Amino acid sequence: MQTVKIVVTGPFSAGKTAFIQTVSEIDVVETERKITNESEKIKETTTVAMDFGRITIDEDLVLYLFGTPGQRRFDFMWEILSEGMLGFIVLVDSTRPETFREARRILETFRAYAPTPYVVAANKQDLPEAWEPEDMRIALRLSPRVKLLPCVATDKESVKKVLLELLYSILEEINHD
Amino acid sequence: MALKGNLRDFSITQLLNLINLAHKTGLLRIRGPKSEAAAYFRQGKLAYAALSDQPNDLASLLYREKKLTAGQYRAIRAHHQRLSDTALGLLLVNAGYFTQGEILAVVQSAYVDVIKRLFTWVDGHFEFHSNAPFPKGRIPTRVSLENLIIEGSRQMREWELLQNEIPDLDMALKFADRPDVNLKHLNLSVEEWRVVSYINPKNTIRQIARATKMNDLEIRRIVYGLLQAGLVELVRPANKSMPKPIHTALEGKTKEDQRSLVNRLIARIRGL
Ligand SMILES: Nc1nc2c(ncn2[C@@H]2O[C@H](COP(=O)(O)OP(=O)(O)OP(=O)(O)O)[C@@H](O)[C@H]2O)c(=O)[nH]1
Ligand SMILES: [Mg+2]
């Protein structure tokens, strides 16, 4: 049995757990905890270790989706998480420009560790406050070459599309070098 | 869809950068702690700007710039109270008081001053209304934003912010591929030119700082300005290896096996 993994990262409350939950065949492994830090208390729970979802591909291949914790004090885990991954997805909450700077930092850190392909998903595009993906591209300083996809993490088709775009990028890279 | 937020999280220079690079047309409204600002942009260029706490009609601008005497100003206020800026401008040009260029220069410098004042705002809710109509009766200008952005960045003093914006001095810089920006039209300072002269994917920001004898704060501020003006991009230094390359899932497999694995993933996810 072979396993491969894709890492889902992004700032606090970007929708990483929701994203993984939407396509995982198991309940996302419970690593949530009530938020104690008042400043980050915009919701009740946060991911403190990592999320963990699974998609069985066939008899001898399993895909794991790993979600990183969004709070900054878990930075040390990134290196461990990204070991052996196929690629990664950076989720950004399109309604909260206050998290864009953090998203840029995450992008730069991950790119430094991982020579793997990645895509960026502009999440929560169903909300009226959402910024346009193309505005976010500039705010996040993404070059035109990087895929930036509109996303609704609670919608299965939308999550599938993001995963597929990442896989297409991985395929392109294989065919390229 | 929305383009709104607070200057605390997304600064004026970042907003101008966005408007500039996306060639946006529309009205930017900012509610600051003491007054409100409105600025209009056309295709990413500044076309109009005003603050709610100062008079911004043409007669007032000309008077403030000492282009009108107090008497002339009063006369205009008395007789042409209801004229729009464009109509008054036309009248003054036709009557031979000013050339069109003189009027435009005064208006342009007033709009630019408004933007410069905005650089001191650290708090304020902003909203950009795409494709809103141009403010009625105002005289439109076409001011490129790059110089304004660089000027705004020069005023940045927040060490923490600069550090967050440019966390890694071991990154390098390269010129962005933007045909519409011409370095010659930028009002760069001597220090900024020195930094620009070292830009090359082989030189890290740290090396540039050393070569130009700048401290971390100085180099970060200049790089930030160049980044925001859309002139440069951060890149991994050309000759630097990855800090600690991780192993990817595909290592050690033949291309055929790699392709087949990814294709299996694709087929399965499509069918979910
Ligand atoms: N409307 C809308 N809400 C979403 C979407 N994605 C996530 N949410 C909501 O946003 C909140 C945060 O989502 P989470 O999945 O907990 O985010 P996270 O990135 O795992 O958060 P941390 O683990 O704390 O960093 C939850 O209330 C989700 O239901 C979306 O696409 N649209
Ligand atoms: Mg989570």
Residues A148 and A145: their CA atoms lie apart, in Å, by 9
- Give pLDDT tens digits along chain B (272 positions): 689 999 988 989 999 999 999 999 999 999 998 899 999 999 999 999 999 999 999 999 999 999 999 999 999 989 888 899 999 999 999 999 999 999 999 999 999 999 999 988 989 999 999 989 999 999 999 999 999 999 888 887 777 778 877 878 888 998 887 666 677 777 888 889 999 999 998 899 999 999 999 998 899 999 998 888 888 888 877 765 555 545 667 777 888 999 999 999 999 999 99
Distance from CA of A85 to the nearest CA of B (A): 5
On the question of pLDDT at A36 being above 80, the answer is: no
- Please answer whether residues A118 and A167 qualify as being in contact, where contact means their C-beta atoms are separated by less than 8 angstroms: no
Pocket of ligand 1 (CB under 6 A): A 10, 12-18, 43, 46-47, 69-70, 123-124, 126-127, 152-154
Per-domain boundaries in chain A: 2-176
Strand partners, B4: B127
**pTM of this structure:** 0.82
Instruction: Write out the residue limits of the CATH 1.10.10 domain(s) in chain B.
Output: 166-270
Q: Which fold has domain A2-176?
A: Rossmann fold (3.40.50)
Average pLDDT of every residue of chain B = 89
β-bridge pairing B4-6 and B172-175: unpaired
- Please answer whether residues B254 and A43 qualify as being in contact, where contact means their C-beta atoms are separated by less than 8 angstroms: no
Question: Which tokens is B170 given?
Answer: 């071991």
Which residue intervals of chain B are DSSP H helices?
12-21, 58-64, 70-79, 85-94, 100-118, 146-154, 159-165, 190-197, 205-212, 216-228, 255-270
What pLDDT was estimated at residue B231?
A: 85
Residues A7 and B34: their CA atoms lie apart, in Å, by 45
Q: Which fold has domain B166-270?
A: Arc Repressor Mutant, subunit A (1.10.10)
Residues B255 and B261: their CA atoms lie apart, in Å, by 10
Q: B247 vs A164: CB contact, 8 Å cut-off?
A: no
3-class secondary-structure state, position B39: strand
The dihedral over CA atoms of A134, A139, A142, A145, expressed in degrees to the nearest 10, equals 20
- What are phi and psi for residue A61, nearest 5 degrees? -145, 130
Q: A131 vs B164: CB contact, 8 Å cut-off?
A: no
